Homo-oligomer: A and B are copies of this chain.
Amino acid sequence: MNMQARISTEVPSILEPANLKETPKHINSLSPQLCSHREMHKVCLFKSVDEDSKEALGAIIKHRKPVQKGHHFYRQSDDFVSVYVVQSGAIKTYDINENGEEHITGLYLPGELFGIDGILAGEHKYSAEALDTSAVSEINYHSLELSFRAHPDIQRWIMEILCSEIYQRQLLSQRQNSAEERLATFLTNISDRLKRRGLSPTDFSLPMSRRDIAGYVGVAAETMSRLFARFQNRGLLSVTGRAVSISDLPTLQGMSVTTH
């Protein structure tokens, strides 16, 4: 049961960011130990952090073996111990309400940090689950916090991540926006995030089911299906299973919510 086999190798999958070797030059050169092979993905993550801080981060980050789809890194109410950095794959965070309904609260791609939902209460607000085979590094939050004093860059970096989380949710909370606008926003957001990491902004594989996407975007699964069909008819993109190829990114961007 190889999950990855299902995903077309022709389409560059965000699960297999093989073309990361073509790291754009706008991304700072990294210290050798952080540049090694499997750690390439962290480039963007640390871009706003100086050399000293990068070393400090390198010292407390713990690399873990890849996990299977369905693996949970933590569950609601677990003690907040660490934050995590996605190296490859994709992770969702979700909440189960009293009716047993699942609501997706976050979606994390390679290079992104998750798990900060525990800062406030000391325990995780949501559960975090691998959407597919994924490699994830762990950073003990206590150690991270200790490093703030010596490395204000790191503290600022965490704050930036928190602000990004606010921004992400702000985009999705625009209730007056139609379902079309929401999907357009979602797609351009993904595109942005991939581009920032040197991956193709137009061809990628969404590592999650329609239902998960729908839950994240905030529409019914059937509506999501119809929306994809509609966008395809308009020549905005083409979808084959989970592989997406955006053919008219400018129009999608025009449709999406630009809160800036």
Contact = CB atoms under 8 A, between A and B. Distances in A.
Interface in A50-81: 76-77
Interface stretch (A9-17, A116-124, A196-204, A236-244): A116-124
A175 B176 contact: no
A43 B163 contact: no
A257 interface: yes
A219 to B, nearest CB: 7
Nearest to A160: B120
Of the candidates A152, A164, A170, A172, the one having the most CB atoms from chain B within 10 angstroms of its own CB is A170
Of the candidates A41, A148, A163, A164, the one having the most CB atoms from chain B within 10 angstroms of its own CB is A163
Contacts of A35: none
Contact of A162 (B121, B163, B257): B163
Interface in A70-125: 76-77, 95, 97-98, 101, 103, 105, 116-117, 119-121, 125
Given A103-B174, A170-B169, A163 B257 contact: no
Contact of A166 (B43, B103, B162): B162
Interface in A19-66: 41, 43
A149 interface: yes
Interface in A176-205: 176
B218 A175 contact: yes
Contacts of A172: 169, 173, 175
A145 B148 CA distance: 12
Contacts of A174: 103, 218
A226 interface: no
12 contacts: A43-B120, A97-B257, A97-B258, A103-B174, A105-B170, A116-B163, A119-B160, A119-B163, A120-B164, A125-B167, A148-B148, A149-B149
Given A43-B120, A125-B167, A166-B169, 6 more contacts: A119-B160, A149-B149, A166-B166, A169-B170, A169-B172, A173-B218
3 shortest interchain CB distances as A-B pairs: A175-B218, A169-B169, A120-B163
